[in-house]
Amino acid sequence: MDDIPKPLPEKPVRFMDCFRAYMRSRHMSYKTEQTYCFWVIDFIRFHGRKHPQTLSDADINEYLSYLALRRNVSVNTQKTALNAIVFLFKKFLGQAVGQLDFGGSNKVRRLPTVFSHDEASRVLANITGIEHLCASLMYGSGLRVMESVRLRVQDIDFSNGCIIVRESKGQYWRRTLLPKSLIEPLRTQIQFVLAQHSVDLELGFGSVYLPYALAKKYPSAETAPAWQYLFPARQYSEDPRSGVTRRHHISERLVQVRVKEAIKKAQIYKKAGCHTFRHSFATNLLKAGTDIRSIQGLLGHRDLSTTQIYTHVVGSHERGVVSPLDSIREPLPTDIDRRQNMSGSSALILQ
């Protein structure tokens, strides 16, 4: 249950507890909360544990330059740290942040690794159980591993042929593709979930975690079939906030481990993982001629520039561009070929 926020005091006093409580009041995702807290704590420690209210823009510049020049972090990592610190000052502390001037990271942004369709199929062939279905949704629907394991029964819309992603990064709902090849496996999985849920209810369990205040607003929703996780955990666990024992969804880490093992068995020597399926989903759509705006919507990217990186991933040869060398119908003669031809011609003349 590593994606459920840990409980906070009713009246937080410690600085970081207050910061966490503020982010939760804005319904920010728990992963964002963890990431921002990591960088804020690192920022405070860098400045000798001084209170952020006593620090200035110059201190922010110094820290961000240190990340780039001394710790050699990537551009994206430096941007994440910047976002966390600006959020801390502008939103939480209510302090204005001026024009920052810090050393930028020299690490270039790498292109994402992608699977060919054959490679993706080989990886999936080496995964079994519900982890296989999870990974298939990452490749067939472009889901993140987090989005895949958090799916609920009601998120699979068979009648409209789509999947509704509710608990996504940034809390933005979207609709994505429901692969036809997964319709029957998903129906079977839902039947299993509902049968298991009935048994859990008989045993005095059967409630499920609901985000935000939905459990208070809809008291019967936590035991409703529609809200049950599509990929429930194999055993019960205790909710760290309420102390209620219930069945959560399977762990993201479990799926990540199974995918890594499958990549190794498939003898694919790329720096790949769960997110590679999502990248491969996007590039395959691009190869098939899907417009970039549609891909942006299916992936849930807020900024089109994030999606446009896939135009660099798809090879030029896959867009119909041919090397001029390959357009020559006959191979160019070598010097030896020329000499042989010349000697042959001389022999004919002497005859």
Q: Which of 36, 63, 139, 310 is catalytic?
A: 310
As given in the structure block, the two tokens for residue 205 are: 């369990």
Q: Is the dihedral of CA 125, 126, 130, 131 positive or negative?
A: negative
Q: Which of 144, 174, 246, 258 is catalytic?
A: 144
Query: Is 310 a catalytic site residue?
Result: yes
**Residues whose CB falls within 8 Å of the CB of residue 37, separated by 6 or more in sequence, listed in order:** 16, 19, 20
From CA 251, how far away is CA 150, in angstroms rounded? 9
Query: Is 70 a catalytic site residue?
Result: no
Decide if 140 contacts 281 (C-beta within 8 A): yes
Q: Which of 132, 150, 279, 301 is catalytic?
A: 301
Q: How many CB atoms lie within 10 A of CB 5?
A: 15
From CA 88, how far away is CA 51, in angstroms rounded? 12
Paired with 163 in beta bridges are: 156, 176
Query: Is 275 a catalytic site residue?
Result: yes
Paired with 74 in beta bridges are: 107
DSSP string, 54-111: G--HHHHHHHHHHHHHTS--BHHHHHHHHHHHHIIIIIIS---------PPP-BPPPP
Phi/psi at 218 (5° precision): -125, 85
Termini Cα distance of the chain: 92
Query: Is 302 a catalytic site residue?
Result: no
Q: Which of 47, 107, 169, 175 is catalytic?
A: 169
As given in the structure block, the two tokens for residue 143 are: 């889901």
Q: Which of 247, 249, 278, 279 is catalytic?
A: 278
Q: Which of 107, 166, 175, 275 is catalytic?
A: 275
From CA 281, how far away is CA 292, in angstroms rounded? 13
Residues serving a catalytic function are: 144, 169, 275, 278, 301, 310
